[in-house]
């Protein structure tokens, strides 16, 4: 009897996941991110954010973005929204402003660490997660990437987030009135 209940639960979860996947307009998500998903597995959509803007070396050896500077986020339909997970590659000067904006907009930071000891400049990896609106979260990730690219690769210049993440942009993208 337990097996029947477990099988029924799995079948319901599978149907619910397929229904959620059909509800999400992935073209809107692609538009919000500014690119198409790099890899799609089932109902998971993955977007790559390689830091090709950085010139990173470790003990004099140049690190290519594909080797260790590849940020990404993945979106999976879940419970009327999307679950997001990802790994953003950041310079030390980018950590606090990016973390603050992500947290203020409902994302969770699950780790900040580095993979490359003795790298120059120092690079860090921020694990992000969360659950929410299928268009708002991609806009947040896009705004994060825009902010990173506009900080002159961490050379101390800080920019306002308002140009990239305004409430009117979020509401318009989500199809809601402000």
Name residue 127's beta-bridge partners: 87, 111
Domain assignment of residue 16, given as a range: 2-174
* pLDDT at position 55 over 90: yes
Instruction: Choose between 34 and 155: higher pLDDT.
Output: 34
In tens, the pLDDT along 139-170 reads 777 777 777 766 644 444 444 444 444 444 44
pLDDT in tens, 87-129: 999 999 889 988 988 888 888 999 999 989 999 999 999 999 9
Cα 68 to Cα 72, 73, 114, 159, distances in angstroms: 12, 15, 10, 26
Work out the mean pLDDT of the chain and round it to a whole number.
75
Residues across the chain: 178
**Number of structural domains the chain divides into:** 1
pTM for this model (two decimals): 0.71
Q: What is the pLDDT of residue 22?
A: 54
């Amino acid at each position: 009897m337990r097996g029947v209940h477990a099988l029924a639960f799995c079948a319901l979860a599978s149907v619910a996941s397929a229904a959620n996947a059909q509800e999400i307009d992935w073209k809107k998500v692609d538009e919000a991110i500014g690119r198409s998903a790099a890899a799609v597995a089932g109902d998971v959509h993955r977007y790559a954010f390689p830091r090709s803007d950085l010139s990173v070396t470790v003990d004099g050896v140049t690190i290519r973005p594909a080797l260790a500077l590849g940020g990404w986020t993945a979106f999976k339909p879940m419970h009327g929204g999307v679950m997001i997970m990802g790994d953003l590659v950041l310079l030390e000067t980018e950590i606090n402003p990016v973390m603050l904006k992500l947290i203020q907009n409902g994302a969770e930071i699950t780790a900040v660490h580095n993979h490359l000891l003795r790298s120059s400049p120092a690079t860090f990896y921020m694990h992000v997660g969360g659950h929410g609106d299928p268009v708002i979260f991609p806009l947040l990730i896009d705004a994060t990437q825009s902010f990173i690219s506009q900080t002159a690769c961490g050379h101390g210049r800080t920019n306002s987030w308002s140009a990239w993440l305004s409430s009117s942009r979020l509401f318009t993208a989500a199809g809601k009135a402000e």
